[in-house]
Amino acid sequence: MNTVKIDKYFKGMIAHRGLSGIETENTINAFLAAANRSYFGIECDVYASKDEKIIITHDDTLLRLGMLNLYIPSFRYEEIRKFSLIDRKSGNLSDNICIPLLSEYLQICKTYKKHGFVELKDNLTLENINEIIAQIELTAQIEHISLIAFSEKYLSYIRKNYPQVDLYLLAEEVNEHIIDYCERHRINLDVRFDVLDETTIKRLHLSGLKVGVWTVDDKETAEKLIKLGVDYLTSNILE
């Protein structure tokens, strides 16, 4: 199994939760698979564990990837690390695949010179966000990491307290409120691919903001969006 190559030369491909079209999403395997390919960036999702460790997982339960109906944030990380995840290649649980820490992901991004896109999930406190930014700064690569979120509360807090951080508002639609919020707070837009139009792209570009789209796995659709002028395109399998 391999990635699907797009025809157009484009520097803004982002591996969604790592190379999740091949490896189990949001795992070291997925991040390394993306790191060893031509992707500009690697995206991940972060929650906080019971003991305030910043962990990487999209879901707040183990039901989909671990076959256990357990609420992940209710466990300490030493317990979470022991939960096996399903190997995407075999479809079976593997003792070698588990939920990693943010620090492990950041180290991979730094070592392989990839831009990180860290999605802030909904159980985070402001103290957790401070810790996330502290960990990013510890790796000396704050300029190579973007924070993305659906929560305007998170993004407004970060813009006020950490103006140097590159930010993206995640959105499932485009409307005047969203565009105005991005322009007022100098926050880029990362939007569902099928609601974006060329007019929005041009307006945000004229405001000095970037535009990303998620999640595109169809080659023809990706190439049309690139032609429209998107800056970044997140995909599970396209490269």
8 Å CB contact between 84 and 95: yes
8 Å CB contact between 60 and 72: yes
Distance CA 9, CA 29 (A): 26
Output the pLDDT for position 142: 87
Give every CB contact of residue 177 below 8 A, 6+ residues apart in sequence: none
**Band of the pLDDT at 20, cuts 50, 70, 90?**
very high
As a whole number, mean pLDDT of residues 206-233 equals 97
Domains of the chain: 13-47+110-235 (3.20.20.190)
The share of the chain scoring above pLDDT 70, in percent, equals 100
Output the pLDDT for position 140: 67
Distance CA 180, CA 172 (A): 16
Distance CA 52, CA 43 (A): 21
Alpha helix locations (H) across the chain? 28-35, 63-66, 77-80, 102-112, 126-138, 152-161, 176-185, 198-206, 219-228
Express each pLDDT in 126-145 by its tens digit: 999 999 999 999 986 789 99
Output the pLDDT for position 237: 98
As a whole number, mean pLDDT of residues 167-191 equals 98
Radius of gyration of the chain (CA): 17
Output the pLDDT for position 18: 98
Distances (CA, A) of 75 to 57, 66, 125, 128, 205: 13, 14, 16, 16, 43
- What tokens were used for 111? 């070592």
Distances (CA, A) of 13 to 18, 42, 206: 11, 9, 22
The model's pTM:
0.96
pLDDT at 101 over 90: yes
pLDDT at 64 over 80: yes
pLDDT at 98 over 70: yes
